[in-house]
Amino acid sequence: MSAERSLAPDLATATRTDQLLDAGTRLLDASSDSPRLDAELLLAHALDAPRTHLYRTLSAVVPAEAASRYADLLGQRAAHRPLAQITGEREFWSLSLKVTADTLVPRPETELLVEQALKRIPPDIGQAVADLGTGSGAIALAIATERPRCRVCATDLSDAALAVARHNAAALGVGNISFHAGDWFAGLQGRRFALIVSNPPYIADDEWCETDPGLSHEPRLALDGGADGLSDIRRIVSAAPAHLDSGGWLLIEHGFRQAAAVQGLLKRAGFESIATLNDLAGLPRITEARLAPRDE
């Protein structure tokens, strides 16, 4: 059995499903906000079975090989490795997505970005949409799925992340999406869009001490926003007008302390109808703006 078992002596003697779940929950209590749920998902993953299987077999003895694998998975989670990286998948917008260490783990607050984008895209009109810094493809795939008439272009600087996004698109059978390598707009020369969305890096240098320890396992490239957290947001806002249709929309996810600064950047870049929306925790998380219509 792995060394992680020494962290919870009762895990070494547990054999049944219920015993392993209880021991795993205690082991994760200090490192997870949802230790019981994490323990259940990890044991189900070790058994290669659905989570519901656990409730039907609470008194059953777990095979030694699966119990050993479970102990190893618990050790990774206790070290703050994101659950989605351990299991290799995450649900986002009811889509099952592959997740690796090369991509950010899609988070519930980012679903607000998708929700707001869909409000700006008529369901019966085909439009061009861009997702900058797509990572696993979560945002782009959610929009492409909900708006099948749209043509979605997803970009990322990381070839490894794009490989994950392409895999997810193929696995989901989403065909109205294309992927482009490059830094923000670099792979979209000459293209214009009715709507552009992005969840760019926005952690400032002095905020790292406040972040979830699990972020150390995710790609720094997708998180580090420079000295004030706005380095990439500035680049996106300044370049967006050249890639938006007249009256087109730009939607950006940002840190909860950055709303006023992002609004200022958008105003100076010629945007109007600027508004910030709060996430489920009541924190300012998404700012949207409309490019002022051009004179015809």
Could you report the per-residue pLDDT of 92-140, keeping only the tens digit for each?
A: 999 999 999 899 889 888 999 999 999 999 998 899 999 999 999 999 9
Note whether residue 84 is domain-resident: no
Residues 144 and 232 in one domain: yes
pLDDT at residue number 3: 40
Work out the end-to-end distance of the chain between its first and last CA atoms, rounded to an integer number of angstroms: 72
CATH of the domain at 235: 3.40.50.150
pLDDT at residue number 4: 42
Reported as type and span, the H/E element at residue 248 is strand 244-253
Whole-number Å distance between alpha carbons of 133 and 22: 40
Whole-number Å distance between alpha carbons of 92 and 102: 17
Whole-number Å distance between alpha carbons of 79 and 32: 10
pLDDT at residue number 8: 58
From residue 237, alpha-carbon distances to 119, 229, 266 in Å are 21, 14, 6
Note whether residue 48 is domain-resident: yes
Q: Look-up: residue for tokens 């109808």?
A: 273
Note whether residue 244 is domain-resident: yes
- pTM (predicted TM-score): 0.85
Residue 64 is given by DSSP the state H
Say which residues have a Cβ less than 8 Å from residue 49's Cβ, sequence separation at least 6. none
Note whether residue 202 is domain-resident: yes
Residues 72 and 134 in one domain: no
Residues 31 and 175 in one domain: no
Residues 133 and 268 in one domain: yes
* Number of domains present in the structure of the chain: 2
Mark the ranges of the chain whose per-residue pLDDT is less than 70.
Answer: 1-9, 295-296
Residues 55 and 108 in one domain: no
The domain of 147 spans 89-291
Task: Count CA within 13 A, CB hemisphere, residue 282.
Answer: 0
- The sign one gets for the Cα dihedral 280, 125, 177, 247 is negative
Residues 94 and 58 in one domain: no
Residues 114 and 72 in one domain: no
pLDDT at residue number 296: 52
Residues 26 and 153 in one domain: no
Whole-number Å distance between alpha carbons of 93 and 78: 27
DSSP per-residue string spanning the chain: --GGGGGSHHHHH--BHHHHHHHHHHHHTTT-SSHHHHHHHHHHHHHTS-THHHHH-TTSBPPHHHHHHHHHHHHHHHTT--HHHHHTEEEETTEEEE--TTSPPP-GGGHHHHHHHHHTS-TTS--EEEEES-TTSHHHHHHHHH-TTSEEEEEES-HHHHHHHHHHHHHHT--SEEEEESSTTTT-TT--EEEEEE----B-GGGGGGS-GGGGGS-GGGTB--TTS-HHHHHHHHHGGGGEEEEEEEEEE--TT-HHHHHHHHHHTTEEEEEEEE-TTS-EEEEEEEEPPPP-
